[in-house]
Every structure is written in C-alpha cells, then in structure tokens.
Amino acid sequence: MKQIFLLISTLFAFNLIANSRNIVKHAPKGFDTLRIGISQGKIDTVFYSSKTVGTNRKTIIYTPPGYSKDKKYPVLYLLHGIGGDETEWLKGGQPQVIFDNLYAEKKIEPMIVVMPNGRAMKDDRAVGDIFDSVKVQAFATFESDLLNDLIPFIEKTYPVYTNRENRAIAGLSMGGGQSLNFGLGNLAKFAWVGGFSSAPNTKEPELLVPDPTTARKKLKLLWISCGDTDDLITISQRTHDYLNTNNVPHIYYIEPGAHDFKVWKNDLYMFTQLIFVNGGRP
C-alpha cells in the first residue's frame, strides 16, 4: 500500500515537472481580479444593420480607459463558442477585468474589442440543439456578416484604423475555428489571428493555409493554443503540424487545462499583449 502511494505521488510529481517544462509563461495570480482605484474601460451593447442576416444584430464593445474620439484605435474581434452568444466572453471570462489590469500595468496597446454574435441567423440565440446543422452553418455565414456588415459599421462609428495591421481576430472553440478560417482566409483584412481551443469547424490545414508563402509574409501573429486535456486538441495539433512542415511562423501554446474559461482567460491575457505591437501602426 505504502509503495503504491509512493509510486502514485512520484508519478504525480514527475507529471507536474514535465508539464511545467512546457509552459512558457502563464498569467500571474490576480490577472483576472477586479482592482480598486484603477481606470476602467467601458462596455456598451450596440446594434448594427446586417444585410447578410436581414436583421439588426447586437454586438458588445469594450473601449479602453482614456478612450477618446480624438484618438484612433486598432480593433480586436473576439468570438464566442457554440453554446454562447455576444455575452459569453463577458459572462464567462470578464475580459474587461483582464484588460483593465493590463492597461494599469501598461502591458497592452489601446484597442477597441468587439464581441459580436457569431451565429449569423435571424434567431441567433444559443437555445435548443446548439449542434443543429443550421446553427453550425450560421457560424460559417458569420464570415460575410463580419466582413460586409460588422466591420464597415465599426469603421464608420468608432475612431479606428482601417488597415490590416490594425485588425485582429481571435476566439474560443467555434470562435477559434472562425478566427482561423476568416483570419487566414482574409489576409488582406487581418494581420493578427488567434485560435483558442479551436473546434472542428476549423478548416483542414491545406484549405486553411493553401499558400504558406503568402501567409508567412502577411501574418504579424498566428497564435494557436489549447488546454492539454481538451479533446479538441487534435484540431490545434494538426494545424500546428502543417504550419511547422510549411514553415509558417506561429505560436503553439499548450497549457494545463480543459475546455473552459480558465484556459481562455489565460489565452486572452497572453494574446492581447502580443497584438498591435511592432509595426501595428500605419
């Protein structure tokens, strides 16, 4: 009995060491804790008219501390998962707390964060069978809503830069798949792309990056991350393998964790510090 206990604890200790060797960095304690006395960004819910869907659609916008119409900002489009809607990041991840803390420590560039509803259909609520093929298809249709309706709306309503170096797209799970599909499929629009725990809606690598030379030239950052116990890790792994084989620079960040907001909050903390730096400005 004693020996079994010893064996188990040795294995456990080894596993911790083995895992920690893979961890480049992790968000420090308190990164997601509300701090009193620091400046805070602002959250608004706004409507935009979507020709793609034929409705007025909701999106949530975070503007940073010190936001002013007299300045100009880059934009991060931040997408949700299959069970969520435009409120998922706010409810599950409180990204505004992470951003406010990062601003207080001057660790990120001032940016506007747009959290849309990525299920581009008339009834875009996460109700009923969320895996229904019509609903899953609506996550693909969102590409047209994003490019033709939402981005133009943001660019005429907010003081933002409109070149590719000032546009980023990232998301969790279905939103990670969308970000990789839409970002890598529209390199003329996006220079910074992140997939967190990307779902099976992610295109096969050969379709996702058919032209590695162009991707290599155009991407400022390609980020692929996943929790090490997430069943969906095979999607990130196959993408990473293809990018490696084809010499497309990217960050492949595997962290301890499952398919949940603990992982996605950490990813958001990491990813946002890397975007809109080194030539993000016009």
- Give the residues lining the site for ligand FER (CB under 6 A): 81-82, 136, 173-174, 199-201
SS3 content of the chain, % helix, strand, coil (to 5): 40, 20, 40
Cα angle value 59/41/105 (rounded, 5°):
130
Nearer to ligand FER, 102 or 232 (CB): 232
Nearer to ligand FER, 136 or 274 (CB): 136
Q: How far apart are CA 186 and CA 221, in angstroms?
A: 14
**Total Cβ atoms within 10 A of residue 34:** 12
Parallel, antiparallel, or unpaired: how do β-strands 167-172 and 42-50 relate?
A: unpaired
CB of residue 80 to ligand FER, shortest distance in Å = 8
CB of residue 201 to ligand FER, shortest distance in Å = 5
CB of residue 84 to ligand FER, shortest distance in Å = 8
CB of residue 78 to ligand FER, shortest distance in Å = 14
Q: How far apart are CA 48 and CA 198, in angstroms?
A: 27
Nearer to ligand FER, 92 or 152 (CB): 92
CB of residue 136 to ligand FER, shortest distance in Å = 5
Classify 68 as helix, strand or coil: coil
Nearer to ligand FER, 201 or 266 (CB): 201
- End-to-end C-alpha distance for the chain, whole angstroms: 66
CB of residue 154 to ligand FER, shortest distance in Å = 24
Classify 63 as helix, strand or coil: strand
Nearer to ligand FER, 41 or 257 (CB): 257
CB of residue 258 to ligand FER, shortest distance in Å = 11
Residue 136 parent element (H or E) = helix 133-145
Rounded to the nearest angstrom, the gap between the alpha carbon of residue 28 and the centroid of all alpha carbons in its chain is 19
Nearer to ligand FER, 66 or 200 (CB): 200
**Total Cβ atoms within 10 A of residue 192:** 27
**Total Cβ atoms within 10 A of residue 186:** 16
Cβ distance 177 to 202 under 8 Å? yes
Cβ distance 40 to 65 under 8 Å? yes
Nearer to ligand FER, 208 or 215 (CB): 208
